[in-house]
Structure 1
């Protein structure tokens, strides 16, 4: 995984052998996409996150930039809405279609409303994909998935049940109500907890959007409405610190336990003080790196192999042809002992 010391060591040498074949043409051949020295000849890979300006997607952006720098023939374009709004996200996707980028990859706030935009892009000759969260009923040609649904859902459940002793009442504070990935993880959590932790009770699932302050407020309301609540799960990178902050504000550290999907730097103070027991995530910069690489593969018409050597730390990325899914790898458990290894 990409830690401080590893991400910075990525260099063009890691991908030189692979790119030498794709970036070179003889003088009588038509130039391959991205060939040439001018900026206009670069492969344009555009990524539209759910929300710009939050640590999670800024880390993905950093990874995408690193991949573009390593590959050399790539222009990485990144723009997202300032609120987690499906219509605003669609406007940005539409602008990239008008710019005639080579590949358009989106993390949809609403998969159903994004699907027509992806179709529009495909019709315009643009390669399309999803990353971080999917639009499975769209024409997307690849989904860059951070970890399996089962891996994330089960890891979150085990992480919250450990300090709760496998029993008691808990609640989930999620983010976007229509987010495909969040809802898939929650479904796994419900089924897995019912089977493995029959003495635990999920009392509520609420949705705070991508708003940390709202997540804190909702978590506070859940504790007030359920005085015997002993667990809170923050389902995304804004609600994970949000639920931990609520427990801290209520003076219930050690009485109400929290876990979530939080970025390391945002969770570090909560992990160290004990208001959060663990964060379940993945290497977000690596996800951005893989997203950029996937966009280039699509633009160049290259098929994905069953196992792909993308670069340092990403030398065995699997691809499932049936679901058209690239899988970054297993979920990562972030604790007080390893949180300082990550710089995002």
Structure 2
């Protein structure tokens, strides 16, 4: 029996080569790398404080569920120039979305504009930068809600009378200044017998807030109330009252994270904390960033998760709103682990 002819062998070789080529092509197509996940970089006002750590926890949880990358890089101080440096570094790294809680909106405006010209999405969260090119602000609660809740909480203990002072944080922080403006107007209209004697700024440093609160009590011997306007000054003013042994004479309220404020709630040096679920704010921030990166519209009411079934969006101000303020007392403080 004769073996295969030369023509037959040539045809067989060509067919085999074609089959191998198609197989190799198929293999290459099948192993093509998946698209990189959306990168979201969060720049808080300051690094390593419980409030922004809790926001980061919420952002990481959302990232796990949404399939995005979330990481936090914060400045060591509240100097706005440090945030500018961080944003410029993130622009150079070509991240997809930058979320920032600005210490000074005016200082950050040019670098926000620079990021937008490079095609990087920019959101604000926790505090806004109105008048800049940020695309969306993720707001924890309205200024009216927070400001009125702080005043009501303090006046419930002082009887709506007496002198009180505010220990705020960054003097250019848009959210804190908006709350203070509401507090002044609301107190004047609803508690005319109460007098705001002074507002001071402690940066984001609890020890400085404690020192300033002690100085305020020395300058104003008739002081009956202190408001700690941020998550570091709230425990700071309560600690001052404790150390000056003025519990029951000078009452404090503030924007304090639950576990940081808990010891002061228990001994009465703080009467109440006005806050929101900080982890939920981080989750909502990551969700909003992904919506923007994906080019998806924000609806007037959005189902974000089972815990956030009806988040509102105001298209006029481009603001996503977490919800109403949360009042933290000894009754519910242990519901929160941060």
Mark yes or no: TM-score above 0.5: yes
TM alignment of 1:1-344, pairs within 5 A: 41-72=36-67, 74-344=68-338
RMSD, matched Cα? 1.2
Structure 1 331/118 Cα, relative in aligned 2: closer, same or farther at 3 Å? same
Higher relative contact order (CA 8 A, sep 6+): 1
Unaligned runs of 5+ in 1: 1-35
State the Cα deviation string for residues 51-103 of structure 1 (Å, max 9, x = none). Answer: 0100000000000000000112x000210001111011111111111111111
Report Cα offsets for 1:181-215 as digits up to 9, x if no partner: 00000000000000000000000000000010000
Identify if the C-alpha distance between structure 1 residues 181 and 37 changes in structure 2 by more than 3 Å, giving closer, same or farther: farther
Cα distance between partner residues in 2 of 1:188 and 1:249: 30
Shift of residue 38, structure 1, vs aligned partner: 5.8
What residue in structure 2 maps to residue 27 of structure 1?
A: none
SS of the aligned residue for 1:47 comes to: strand
Distance 2:260 2:143 in 1: 23
CA–CA distance in structure 2, aligned partners of residues 255 and 281 of structure 1: 24
Unaligned runs of 5+ in 2: 1-30
- Separation in structure 1 between the aligned mates of residue 218 and residue 141 of structure 2, nearest angstrom: 34
**TM-score scaled by structure 1?**
0.88
Secondary structure at the residue paired with 1:41? coil
What's the TM-score, normalizing by structure 2?
0.90
Q: How many residues align?
A: 308
